[in-house]
Amino acid sequence: MTKDNVINLVRENIKNLIPYQSARRIGGHGTVCLNANESPIPVFFTLKKKEWNRYPECQPTELISAYANYVNIEYNNVLVTRGADEGIELLIKAFCEPRKDVIVYCPPTYDMYQITANIFDVLARKIPTKKNIWQLDLINIQLNLHSVKIIYICNPNNPTGTIILQNDIIKLLNITAGKALIVVDEAYIEFSLKDSMITYLKKYSHLVILRTLSKAFSLAAIRCGFILANKEVINILNKVISPYPISIPVTDIACQSLESKSIELMKKRVLSNDLNRIWFMEELKTLPCTEKIFDSSANYVLVQFKMCEKIFKELWSKGIILRNQNKKMYLKNCIRISIGTRTECIYVIDELKRFCLKNNIMRNK
C-alpha cells in the first residue's frame, strides 16, 4: 500500500480535524511556564506499592472512597477517569449518536468539548457567552435545544476565569430536564469552592460534574480526574470505559493526595495562589501596555494587551511562556497567564514594564 492509500482509509471527520493545541504540543522551553494552568509548586509522594504484575481494578475502590469522602457524596456517584479530558470523552461516547445528536458549548471556553465531539462525528453547536461578561446566553441556548444531548459548561470558565452565575445554571437545569445532560466542568473549582454545583446532584439527575487532580492538587502528571453524577449515569459510563484505565501508581499517588494532611496543603496552595493573583492583577492594571484585565476566580487571568503578539513573542524569548488567545473568538489581543509563584509573577511584571519603556507605550487610561 502506498502512503496515499493509507490516508484514504481515514474517516472523513478525522482527515480534516485540527487536534487540540495543548501547551505541550505548542511547546516552548521556558524557565517560567505559565501556559497550562498547572500548579507552580510540586508536591512530593513516593510509591507505596512495589509490584506491578497484576492488572489494577477497573475502578479502584480505595480511590473512589477517598474522593467521595473528600467531596462528601455517596460512593456510587463517583467514577475515576484518566483526567477530566477522559470524562468529556466518555460522556459523548455513551450519550451521543454520531451525525444525529448534538452537544452545545459556549465559547470562549475550553476547546476539548468541541474537538472531542468532532472526533466522534457528533455535531458541536456553538452558543457564545455574552461578550465581555462571559455569562450564558440562556435565551439562545433554549432556542437551540433540538437534538441536544449534552451541554458543557466550564465553571470557573477557562480561559476567561469567570464564575457562571449559579442561578443561570439552575435555570438551564430546569429548561433541560428530561432532554439533555448538563455537564459542569469544575476543573478549577477548588479556587472558588462556594460555586460548586455539587449539592445539586441530589436534586437534578441530569447534572454531571467533572473534576481533576491536575490543577489545585498539583498532579497534572498523573492524569487523574473524576465524574460525579447520579448512579444511573455512572453505571452507563462504566459500560464504555476501558478495562483498566487507572494504573496502580496513579491510584497510589491519588489516594495519598486525598489524605487530610495533603488536602490541608492543597488549600494552603490555593490561598497563596489567590494572593498572588490579586497582587498580579493590581500590578497589571498599573501597566500602560494592558487594555483590560478580566476578573478571575481561578489560577489564571485573561489580559487584553496593546501589541499583544509582540508582547507574547518578547516574553517567549525571555523564557516566559504564556497562552496566546489572540486568534480565538472574542479574544482579540488577549493572553491567558497562569498564576505562578510570587517570584514568577514579579518577573513577568518586570519584563512587561521593560517592554513598555522600550516600545514607548504611554499610559492613556
Q: Restricting to residues 1-40, which ones interact with ligand PLP according to CB under 6 A?
A: 37
Give the C-alpha separation, 82 to 247, whole Å.
9
Nearer to ligand PLP, 82 or 352 (CB): 82
**Grid coordinates belonging to 249:** 501508581
CB of 74 to ligand PLP, least distance (A): 22
Stretch that binds ligand PLP, among 2-10, 78-86, 130-138, 288-296 (CB under 6 A): 78-86
Q: Burial of 99 by CB count in 10 Å (0-12 exposed, 13-18 middle, 19+ buried)? A: exposed
d(CA 189, CA 174): 22
Check binding of 85 to ligand PLP (CB under 6 A): yes
Looking at residues 191 to 230 of the shown chain, list those that interact with ligand PLP (rule: CB under 6 A).
212, 214, 220, 225
Q: How far is CA 231 from CA 29, 85, 238, 308, in A?
A: 44, 20, 10, 47
Choose between 52 and 244: whose C-beta lies nearer to ligand PLP: 244
Residue (249 or 288) nearer to ligand PLP, CB: 249
In whole angstroms, what is the distance from residue 365 CA to residue 360 CA?
Answer: 15
Q: Report the site for ligand PLP in 285-344 (rule: CB under 6 A).
A: none
Query: What's the min distance (Å) between Cβ of 86 and ligand PLP?
Result: 7
103, 151 Cβ separation under 8 angstroms: yes
In the complex, minimum distance from the CB of residue 164 to ligand PLP, in angstroms, rounded to a whole number: 12
Helix (H) or strand (E) holding 89: helix 83-95
Neighbouring C-beta atoms of residue 167, cutoff 10 Å: 9
Applying CB under 6 A, among 34, 150, 169, 187 the residue interacting with ligand PLP is 187
CB 174 within 8 A of CB 166: no
Contact 293, 284 (CB under 8 A): yes
83 forms part of the interface with ligand PLP (CB under 6 A): yes
Q: Is 245 near ligand PLP (CB under 6 A)? A: no
Does residue 110 belong to the site contacting ligand PLP (CB under 6 A)? yes
H-run or E-run covering 126: strand 123-126
What does each C-alpha distance from 329 to 79, 112, 145, 310 come to in angstroms? 33, 15, 22, 20
Q: Which stretch binds ligand PLP (CB under 6 A): 77-85, 125-133, 162-170, 346-354?
A: 77-85
Helices (H), strands (E): how many in the chain? 13, 13
Q: Which of 154, 169, 250, 361 binds ligand PLP (CB under 6 A)?
A: 154
Q: Which is nearer to ligand PLP, 218 or 276 (CB)?
A: 218
Total interface residues for ligand PLP by CB under 6 A: 13
Radius of gyration, CA atoms only, the chain: 21
Residue with the closest Cβ to ligand PLP? 83
Closest contact distance (angstroms) between CB of 146 and ligand PLP is 26
Q: Considering the complex, what minimum distance in angstroms separates the CB of residue 189 from ligand PLP? A: 10
Would you tell me which residues interact with ligand PLP (CB under 6 A)? 37, 83-85, 110, 154, 158, 185, 187, 212, 214, 220, 225
